[in-house]
A and B are shown apart, each in its own frame.
Chain A
C-alpha cells in the first residue's frame, strides 16, 4: 500500500483504543461527517486552557498577550496551509458560518438583475444561504446540473454563468458522490464576467493539497472538525482586496475601529469579521491539526485515499445488487463513496454495520436536492481518511455481505 504507516498514525488517535457495541473494533468510515482527533490537537486545547487562557486581543496582561499570540500563530499556520496571507484568514465557528457570512455580507452588493450560481451537488450549507440571498435581493439563483454519472454538466457553462452573474459558489469535492469538480473552466468563465468564485472546500482541504493562489479563486470555506481539528472553529479565506471591500456580518466587540453613540467604523480585515471573543482554544487546536496534517503530508494523504478508494470501489463493484452512486473510477474523485444495496434501506444497512462496529453515514447527507435528482431516497456513505486501511475496507465489505444474509432471512 501507500507511503503512510497507518498503524503508527492510529496510535496518535486515542479514540481507536476504545471498542464499539460489545467489544468490536472501531471501523470509522464517517470522516466526511467529522474526523477523529489526534492527541496533539486535544493537548493543544488543554494546554491553552491550562496555561494561556485569557481574552485574545483584549487586556494588557501577560496571559492576554499569550492568548493573542497563540491565536495569531494559528492564523499564520492556516494561511501557510492554504497558500494565502494571514490577514486573509477569518476565523468563524464553522464552514456553515463562513458561507452565511459571505451570503449576508453580499446582501447590499447584489441587485435584482444579478445572478448567483451554485450546483446541484451542494451541501445544504452552500445552497440555502444563496437561496436566501436571492430571496432577499430578488436576484436569480441558477445552477449547474449533475449528470447521471455524478459529474457536473458544464456543457452550457456560458448560459449558466452569464454577464449578470456576480457570485459562483461551488463545492470542491462532493460530500455525497466524492466527485472532485474541475475548477479551471468555471473560474475562467466567472472571472470573465466579473463574478467571484467561492469554494466550499469542506471535503477537499482535509484531503488534498490546496493552494488558493494556484486555484485562482476568491473565497474559500472549510470546517476545522473535518480536518482533525476541534469542533467550533471554521475558516473563511478571502482575497485581501475583497475582504477590504466587503461589509461585516456580525457586529460587536473587537471588530471596530471607533464607536460613538450613533455610529461605528470597522477594524481592517480579518478583525472586521471576527466580532466577539473568538473560539480561542479551538483556533489553537486547529493550528495543531494543520501542523499534524502537514507533517504527514497532504499529498501523501491524497494518494493514500486514492489507493484505498480504488480498492474500496473494486470491492464494492463485485457485490451483487450494490450500486455506487457517483463516479465509478478514481478519476477526479476522492475517497467518499456512496451506494445503494438492493432493497436494503441505507438506515437498516447502517444499523447492521453499526452492530459490527462499523460507522457509516446514511440518508441524504444534507444534499437533498442531489439525492432527489439522482433518484435515490437515501444512500449509505463510506468516507475514508488517512487513518483508514485495507482492514477497514474489508470489514465494510464483509459487513455488507452479512447484512444481505441478515435481512434476507425469511
Chain B
C-alpha cells in the first residue's frame, strides 16, 4: 500500500523516540519555523565549533513526518562539517522533490532515505522539510556570527 511507503517503521520509530529533542540552553543561533498551512512548529538551537556542527537540539509540535524528519536530520548533522552537512541537505531536498522517482543515497542520508515515500505526497513534503529548512536557516545565522 502507498501508505506503508509513507509511514516506514523508521519514521514511526523516530516519531515515538525523537532524537535530540529538548532545547539545550546554550547555542550560537536559534530559529523558529512554522508550516503556515498546518500549524506545525519547530524551534531549533545550533552550536558550531570550528566549521563543524557541535550540537543541534530542537523542540516542536507536528505530525509524525515533520517530527521524525527533524529527528533524523539532527542525528545526521551533529558532528559533521558544515560543508558535508550541506551535501546531505541538498541530497535530502533533491529526494523530496523527486515525486517518488528516487530512493535516496543511504551512504549520504542514512535513515533519511526512509523519507523517500513522502515525495509522492505533495502535501507532506513541507512537513518533511520543516526541520531541514530550520537547520539551513540556523546554520547560516550561526556561521555569520
Asked whether A362 lies within 8 Å of B38 as measured between CB atoms, the reply is yes
* Among B48-56, B58-66, B104-112, the stretch in contact with A: B58-66
Binary contact readout A392-408 vs B (1 if CB under 8 angstroms, 0 otherwise): 00000000000000110
* B64:A355 contact, CB within 8 angstroms: no
Interface string of A89-113 (1 = CB under 8 A from B): 0000000000000000000000000
| A378 located at the interface, meaning its Cβ lies under 8 Å from any Cβ of chain B in the complex | yes
Determine if B39 and A407 form an interchain contact, defined as CB atoms under 8 angstroms apart.
no
A115-136 CB contacts (< 8 Å) to partner B: none
Q: From known contacts A351-B3, A355-B2, A407-B12, infer whether A345 and B63 are also in contact, taking CB-CB under 8 Å.
A: yes
Alpha-carbon gap, A364 to B1, bound state (A): 28
- The answer to whether residues A368 and B62 also contact, given A351-B124, A355-B3 and a CB cut-off of 8 A, is no
B6 touches A378 (CB 8 A): no
Among B1, B7, B37, B63, find the residue whose CB has the most chain A CB atoms closer than 10 A.
B63
Q: Chain A 362-377, CB within 8 Å of chain B: the 1/0 string?
A: 1110001001000001
B44 to chain A, nearest CB (A): 17
Taking a contact as CB atoms closer than 8 A, the residue among A352, A362, A378 that contacts B3 in the complex is: A352
Cβ of A390 < 8 Å from any Cβ of B? no
Chain B residue with the shortest CB-CB distance to A362: B38
Is there contact, CB below 8 Å, between A377 and B64?
no
User: Which residues of B are found within 8 Å of A355, using beta-carbon distances?
Assistant: 1-3
- Give chain B nearest CB distance to A115 CB in angstroms: 29
Tell me if A371 and B63 are in contact (CB < 8 A): no
A25 in the interface (beta carbon within 8 A): no
Distance to closest chain B CB from A290 (angstroms) = 31
Contact A363 B39 (CB under 8 A): yes
Q: Max chain B CB contacts within 10 Å: which of A21, A22, A345, A355?
A: A345
A352 partner residues in chain B, CB cutoff 8 A = 3
B12, B38, B64: the one contacting A378 at CB < 8 Å is B38
Any B CB within 8 A of the CB of A348:
yes
A355 to B37 Cα, complex, angstroms? 21
Q: Are the C-beta atoms of A348 and B63 separated by less than 8 Å?
A: yes
Interface string of B71-112 (1 = CB under 8 A from A): 000000000000000000000000000000000000000000
- A85 vs B17: C-alpha distance in the bound complex, in angstroms? 62
Which of A22, A348, A362 has the most chain B CB atoms inside 10 A of its CB? A348
Which residues of A in the span 255-275 have a Cβ within 8 Å of any Cβ on B?
Answer: none
User: Are A347 and B65 within 8 A (Cβ)?
Assistant: yes
With A345-B64, A377-B61, A407-B64 already in contact, the answer to whether A351 and B38 are too (CB < 8 A) is no
Instruction: Give the Cβ gap from A342 to chain B, nearest Cβ, in Å.
Output: 13
B12 contact set on A, CB distance < 8 A? 407, 409
**In the complex, chain B residues whose CB is within 8 Å of the CB of A409:** 12
**Docked-complex contact A371 and B39, CB < 8 angstroms:** yes
Question: Given A345-B64, A355-B1, A355-B2, A377–B121 Cβ distance below 8 Å?
Answer: no
Partner of A363 from B37, B61, B121 at Cβ < 8 Å: B37
A345 pairs with B6, CB closer than 8 A = no
Nearest CB of B to A289, in Å: 28
15 A-B pairs (CB sep. < 8 Å): A22-B2, A345-B62, A345-B63, A347-B124, A348-B64, A352-B3, A355-B3, A362-B38, A363-B37, A363-B38, A377-B39, A377-B61, A378-B38, A406-B7, A407-B7
